[in-house]
Chain A
Amino acid sequence: MKLSAKVWFLTGMIMLFNVFFFWIKPEGKILTIVSDLLPVICVLVSIIGISFAVKNLHGFDQTKIAWIMLLAGMVLFLSAETIYGFLEVIMNIDVNEVFPTLADYFWMAGYVPIFIGLVMLVIGYKKSGFSFGSKSTYTFGISCFILITVLIIYKLLIPIIQDPETGKLAKFVYLYYPIADLFIIVPAMILAYITNLFGKGLISRPWRYIAVGFLCMTTFDIIYSYLSWNDMYGPGNFLDLLQNISYLLIGLGGIFQKELIESV
């Protein structure tokens, strides 16, 4: 059985367990433990997957650097998830009251190499000479992006800025996440669209998975930012499924990249 098939199976098992566990919602601390442990496991899968891709790219070129950037981002996210879980489960800290925590600095740092990596892939694609697709699709995409941005500004960013009770540092971090997510969405959407142009070509599969993975991740994060700001988020929220699947898809992207290189 191919490695990608095994990881697909693992993805299915993790997601099924996630759904089941959040559905039964056991009492006590176990829900918090599982809620915090699952993203750690999932981001670990993404790191392993992307590591396979990096290892199979011989020669230190733009392609390898792009994938290394994605790997660096996911390693920072793993640190963030682990610290977050440690603070909440072991130290019994209410991470909503003590904000930002050390975990947030790792999350914020992680966005930078991820953005760089995705942009490098888009720039590399431009150099390839392949078609970028139709202008009308980009026009539609830009319109949707503007609408989403306006919605986020009015529903989330302005309330944060205008809140008199939140300190400057906390405000900065609260604002950072959705703005960074909007930055990530742009190259991820471009990658998602251009991989469509390849039809069933093998070459598009890794990028398709990482693009969809990062789109899921940013969607989760924006919604989480809103819920968290409005005190509507807690352990066992089904929104976490989106975060977990995003990490797993990114990992699968890395494994498909490995298999693509091996197939040539």
Chain B
Amino acid sequence: MTINYIAVKIESFLLPLIGELLTAATLKVQCDKIGTSVEKLTPMHLPELAPRIEQALVIFLGSDRSKRVSKQILEMNISQ
């Protein structure tokens, strides 16, 4: 179970879009690519993570909406 609050926020955002399986997989894969893990995700990672998630979603949402998703992730209020 994810207890990292940033990851939880991102997961709750992505879950209705891409479902449980792919949300978990996407977060894990993209965190690995930027040299961290889901458990160790911090606000500092968001500028690197958000564009990668944007790229993953572009074929479904188009570049305009996937950019909006990226922006929403970057602007996430991560207060615990």
Cα-based distance from A124 to B57 in the complex (angstroms) = 10
Residues on A with C-beta less than 8 A from B57 are 128, 203
B44 within 8 A of partner (CB): no
> CA A128 – CA B63 in complex, angstroms?
12
A264 adjacent to B61 (CB under 8 Å): yes
B48, CB-defined interface residue at 8 Å: no
Interchain CA distance A229-B58 in the complex, whole Å: 43
Task: Please give me the residue from chain B that is nearest to A129 by CB atom.
Answer: B56
Query: Which stretch of A1-9, A54-62, A135-143, A149-157 is in the interface?
Result: A54-62
Please name 20 pairs of A and B residues whose Cβ atoms are closer than 8 Å in the assembled complex, sorted by A.
A58-B62, A59-B64, A61-B62, A63-B59, A63-B63, A128-B56, A128-B58, A128-B60, A129-B26, A129-B56, A130-B26, A130-B56, A197-B21, A199-B19, A201-B17, A201-B23, A202-B17, A203-B60, A203-B61, A264-B61
Taking residues whose C-beta sits less than 8 angstroms from the other chain, chain B's interface range is: 20 to 34
| CB-contact partner of A261 in B16, B23, B58, B61, under 8 A | B61
Which one, A59, A130, A197, A202, contacts B16 given CB within 8 A?
A202
A178-221 near B? 1/0 per residue, CB < 8 Å: 00000000000000000001111111101100000000000000
Chain A residues with CB below 8 A from B23, complex form: 201
Tell me if B9 counts as interface (CB < 8 A to partner A): no
A218 to chain B: closest CB distance in Å? 22
**Residues of chain A contacted by B61 (CB below 8 angstroms):** 63, 203, 260-261, 264
Collect the chain B residues with CB atoms within 8 Å of residue A204's CB.
Answer: 18-19
Q: Mark B16-32, 1 if CB is under 8 A from A, else 0.
A: 11111111011001100
Interchain CB contact under 8 A, A261 and B59: no
Interface pair B59/A264, CB less than 8 Å apart? no
Chain A contact residue count (CB 8 A cutoff): 29
A residues neighboring B (CB under 8 Å): 57-59, 61-64, 66, 121, 124-125, 127-131, 197-204, 206-207, 260-261, 264
Contact of A199 among B21, B30, B58, B60 (CB under 8 A): B21
Q: Does B55 contact A (CB under 8 A)?
A: yes
On whether the beta carbons of B59 and A128 are closer than 8 Å, the reply is: yes
* B residues near A64, Cβ cutoff 8 Å: 62
B60 surroundings in chain A (CB, below 8 A) = 63, 128, 203, 206-207, 260
Rounded to whole Å, the gap between the CB of B23 and the closest CB of chain A is 8
In the bound assembly, the distance between CA atoms of A59 and B64 in angstroms comes to 6
Residues of A contacting B40 with CB < 8 Å?
none
Chain B residues near A197: list those with CB within 8 A: 19, 21-22
